[in-house]
């Protein structure tokens, strides 16, 4: 009998009993369950007692080392709570509450230790892995991270294909079970040179809706020194598994303890508006790293950009097939006659921007190298300091400053990260010399060094290096084609914008369907603001760019609404001055709308269908409202109960005219004004692909004659 008991005791050591820990969110909306079953760590999540994530495995496969998938025992579990209110440097609201309950479980596997930390908010979950300093796990290489998200059914998903090169896809709306079938067609909406990583792979942020009305969002936060996460779907069981972006050798990450991974996030609510209002991603990032942020200022800008995107003009100065930095004498080269960044054209845009109260003017194609970039065979195309002969950098900056305008720098790196890092200090010093305070950087093309990917560990480290280096020179960064944001703008608020999704430029490359802008705030904007470049007023591009037959799939009022629904502290009026001059009454909204906010309210929302948002300008009592719809016309019932009670406002409504339609009559609109207060109600019709915008200011004595807005 004694021998039998010793055998049973030995078996218990080899096969430990399951351990379970339960954590609830501060308001008891979400419940997390963690257990170690047969040595496998798992978690599950419920919302209001409804399953959101079924039991899902955690762990890693390592290269040339035993995996961290099973064989674990639960050594300890520590709990804590946290509640603070912090002030962002810029943002959708003046303050943000960071309130969570935390569970940190310490797991041991044959002398190796892994900590899994869970933070549970009322709007979602964050989990990350932590590797403490330890003798049996110091330097290691990931073969793959194996975090699972087991869904409860065949949800409706709003997705773009998994890809290592680009996020610039149009969103597909389908059931999870349809992704495999629809993925080849979805890939064609970008024209990317790199194929998908799997037949069922999608990118984060992934928005879903269950049949019983739960809105679920999967993403990541605080992506630092680690590859970007994609999601592989088992479309038989509806289980997502993490899929990290590989490096040039196929490895998924090189780590050294002590270290932590990014947070894996699950947002959930039964109200779509809660997803848009969530600060989960920002809260999971570290506080601001800078003591002085006075130099970081939101801005509204125009640019010499849309004319190149549409083909009206060119980035390149000459038609030479090849140039050599420091060797080609551009003063002796024959201009191609289409170069957009010439002195007179830039001055024309500066004049218009200054007259109408803008802050900055972006100029692309100002610097030598664009002729030789197409082949992308060299890593020394640009030096970021040498202007073309028809761009007088000193004269133009003096001219702009006299008019109260700053020029915005443009650094297209051609994805040569090493070359950009070699020239970065010199390029930023040039910006300081001429008073540039912001740079738009670009990463178009396959990454150099060859084999690296836009979303791998190498490039993620580069993007953050560029932001930190820019901060040394008090420069704000607007990075295009970089990794989709994961909230790092909280820690490094000079990262004032990103593209990292399919923006307005694709309207000049064949078009994007109207539903796209009703999805982006649920997906791409979860991690940070987007430089979407809205404000197009001339929808038929062929009227000013011969040979381009594309049309912008939006009404003019839809374009106005984007300044409210697509949050960014860096907003562009992207069209040409002459197009705004035709519709100056509508252009007034772009002039008036703020770029930084004290309060934001989402009044109505359904992903893929419509969004209505209201925002109060920073330090002012003015409110702005925007609404967008998809390919379906609809009427929105708008309540003004977000306004201060007892106060009256003048509302100016910019709305689609009755005959407006994104396909047949996009530039038809009506403007009317009237008095409103917190008790007011208004029905607003939106055309197909349309929208509306409203500016609200407190009434003055002379406004008493105005009728109430109905």
**The residue to which tokens 């709990």 are assigned:** 79
What local confidence, expressed as pLDDT, does residue 14 receive? 39
- Do residues 455 and 556 both lie within one domain? no
What local confidence, expressed as pLDDT, does residue 190 receive? 74
- Do residues 322 and 209 both lie within one domain? no
Report the range of poorest mean pLDDT among 4-13, 152-161, 604-613: 4-13
Residue 505 preceded by cis peptide, ω within 30: no
What local confidence, expressed as pLDDT, does residue 688 receive? 98
Q: Mean per-residue pLDDT for 140-151?
A: 98
Kindly report the backbone phi and psi dihedral angles of residue 194, in degrees, each rounded to the nearest multiple of 5, phi listed first.
-100, 135
- Do residues 167 and 268 both lie within one domain? yes
Taking the C-alpha atoms of residue 655 and residue 626, their distance in angstroms, rounded to an integer, is 10
- CATH number of residue 136's parent domain: 2.70.98.10
- Catalytic residue of the set 145, 148, 505, 667: 505
What local confidence, expressed as pLDDT, does residue 329 receive? 81
- Do residues 369 and 419 both lie within one domain? yes
Q: What is the largest CA-CA distance in the chain?
A: 100
Confidence of residue 192 (pLDDT cuts 50, 70, 90): low
Residues in the chain: 710
Evaluate whether residue 674 is within a structural domain: yes
Cβ of 288: how many Cβ atoms within 10 Å?
17
Give, as one character, the DSSP assignment of residue 72: -
- CATH number of residue 344's parent domain: 3.20.20.70
Taking the C-alpha atoms of residue 418 and residue 12, their distance in angstroms, rounded to an integer, is 54
Burial (0-12, 13-18, 19+ Cβ within 10 Å), 334:
exposed
Pick from 625, 506, 605, 498: nearest CA to 561: 625
- Do residues 479 and 604 both lie within one domain? no
SS3 at position 27: coil
Handedness of CA 176, 514, 196, 414 (dihedral sign): negative
Is residue 380 over pLDDT 70? no
The total number of structural domains in the chain stands at 3
The pLDDT tens digits of the residues spanning 496-544 come to: 999 999 999 999 999 999 999 999 999 999 999 999 999 999 999 999 9
Is residue 328 over pLDDT 80? no
- Do residues 512 and 473 both lie within one domain? no
What local confidence, expressed as pLDDT, does residue 373 receive? 67
Tell me the residue range of the domain where 51 lies: 16-283
Q: Rounded to an integer, what is the distance from CA 125 to the centroid of its chain?
A: 20
What local confidence, expressed as pLDDT, does residue 378 receive? 57
Confidence of residue 372 (pLDDT cuts 50, 70, 90): confident
- Do residues 349 and 220 both lie within one domain? no
Is residue 374 over pLDDT 80? no
Taking the C-alpha atoms of residue 450 and residue 376, their distance in angstroms, rounded to an integer, is 11
Strand partners, 243: 230
Average pLDDT, the chain: 94
Kindly report the backbone phi and psi dihedral angles of residue 596, in degrees, each rounded to the nearest multiple of 5, phi listed first.
-135, 145
Confidence of residue 631 (pLDDT cuts 50, 70, 90): very high
Taking the C-alpha atoms of residue 321 and residue 653, their distance in angstroms, rounded to an integer, is 51
**The residue to which tokens 């059931």 are assigned:** 175
Known catalytic membership, residue 108: no
- Do residues 259 and 312 both lie within one domain? no
The pLDDT tens digits of the residues spanning 61-118 come to: 999 999 999 999 999 999 999 999 999 999 999 999 999 999 999 999 999 999 999 9
What local confidence, expressed as pLDDT, does residue 194 receive? 66
Tokens of 656: 């689609």
- Do residues 490 and 507 both lie within one domain? no
Confidence of residue 455 (pLDDT cuts 50, 70, 90): very high
Strand partners, 109: 112
Pick from 698, 579, 605, 568: nearest CA to 643: 698
- Do residues 113 and 193 both lie within one domain? yes
């Amino acid at each position: 009998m004694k021998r039998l008991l010793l055998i049973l005791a030995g078996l218990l050591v080899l096969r430990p009993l399951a351990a379970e820990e339960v954590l609830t969110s501060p308001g008891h909306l979400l419940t997390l369950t963690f257990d170690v079953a047969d040595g496998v760590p798992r978690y599950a999540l419920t919302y209001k007692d409804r399953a959101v994530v079924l039991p899902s495995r955690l762990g890693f496969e390592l290269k040339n080392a035993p995996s961290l998938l099973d064989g674990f025992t639960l050594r300890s579990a520590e709990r804590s709570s946290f509640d603070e209110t912090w002030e962002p440097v810029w943002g959708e609201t003046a303050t943000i509450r960071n309130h969570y309950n935390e569970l940190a479980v310490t797991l041991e596997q044959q002398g190796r230790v892994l900590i899994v930390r869970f933070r549970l908010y009322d709007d979602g979950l964050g989990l990350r892995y932590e590797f403490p300093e330890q003798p049996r796990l110091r330097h290691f290489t990931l073969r793959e991270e194996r975090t699972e998200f087991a869904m409860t059914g065949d949800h409706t998903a709003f997705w773009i294909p998994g890809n290592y090169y680009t996020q610039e896809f149009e969103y597909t709306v389908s059931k999870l079970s349809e992704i495999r079938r629809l993925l080849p067609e979805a890939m064609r909406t970008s024209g990317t040179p790199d194929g998908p990583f799997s037949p069922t792979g999608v990118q984060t942020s992934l928005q879903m809706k269950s049949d019983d009305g739960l809105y679920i969002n999967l993403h990541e936060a605080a992506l630092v020194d680690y590859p970007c996460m994609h999601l592989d779907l088992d479309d038989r069981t509806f289980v997502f598994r993490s899929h990290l972006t590989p490096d040039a050798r196929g490895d998924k990450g090189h780590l050294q303890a002590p270290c932590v991974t990014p947070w894996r996030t699950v947002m959930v609510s039964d109200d779509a508006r809660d997803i848009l209002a969530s600060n989960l991603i920002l809260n999971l990032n570290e506080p601001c790293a800078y003591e002085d942020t006075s130099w970081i200022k939101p801005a509204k800008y125009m640019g010499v950009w849309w004319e190149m995107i549409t083909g009206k003009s060119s980035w390149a100065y000459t038609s030479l097939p090849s140039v050599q930095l420091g060797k080609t004498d551009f003063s002796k080269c024959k201009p191609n006659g289409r170069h957009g960044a010439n002195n007179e054209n830039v001055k024309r845009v500066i004049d218009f921007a200054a007259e109408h109260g803008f802050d900055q003017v972006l100029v692309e194609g100002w610097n030598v190298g664009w002729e030789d970039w197409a082949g992308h065979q060299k890593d020394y195309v640009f030096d970021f300091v040498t202007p073309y002969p028809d761009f007088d950098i000193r004269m133009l900056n003096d001219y702009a400053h006299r008019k109260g305008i700053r020029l915005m720098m443009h650094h297209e790196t051609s994805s040569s990260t090493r070359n950009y890092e070699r020239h970065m200090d010199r390029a930023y010093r040039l910006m300081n010399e001429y008073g540039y305070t912001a740079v738009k950087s670009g990463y178009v093309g396959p990454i150099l060094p060859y084999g690296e990917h836009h979303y791998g560990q190498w490039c993620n480290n580069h993007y953050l290096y560029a932001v930190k280096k820019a901060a040394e020179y008090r420069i704000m960064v607007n990075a295009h084609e970089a990794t989709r944001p994961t909230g790092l703008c909280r820690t490094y608020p000079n990262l004032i914008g990103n593209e990292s999704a399919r923006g307005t430029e694709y309207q000049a490359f064949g078009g994007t369907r109207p539903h796209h802008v009703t999805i982006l705030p649920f997906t791409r904007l979860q991690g940070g603001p987007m430089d979407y470049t809205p404000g197009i007023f001339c929808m038929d591009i062929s009227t000013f760019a011969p040979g381009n037959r594309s049309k912008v799939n939006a009404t003019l009022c839809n374009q106005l609404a984007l300044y409210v629904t697509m949050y960014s502290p860096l907003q562009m009026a992207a069209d040409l001055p002459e197009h705004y001059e035709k519709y100056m009454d509508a252009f007034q909204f772009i002039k008036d709308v703020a770029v930084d906010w004290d309060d934001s309210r989402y009044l109505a929302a359904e992903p893929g269908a419509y969004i209505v948002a209201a925002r109060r300008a920073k330090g002012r009592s003015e409110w702005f409202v925007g609404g967008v719809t998809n390919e379906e016309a609809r009427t929105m019932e708008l309540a003004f109960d977000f306004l201060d009670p007892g106060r009256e406002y003048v509302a100016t409504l910019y709305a689609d005219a009755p005959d407006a339609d994104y396909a047949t009559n996009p530039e038809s609109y009506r403007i009317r004004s009237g008095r409103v207060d917190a008790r007011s109600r208004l029905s607003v019709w939106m055309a197909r692909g349309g929208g509306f915008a409203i500016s609200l200011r407190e009434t003055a004595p002379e406004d008493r004659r105005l009728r109430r807005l109905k």
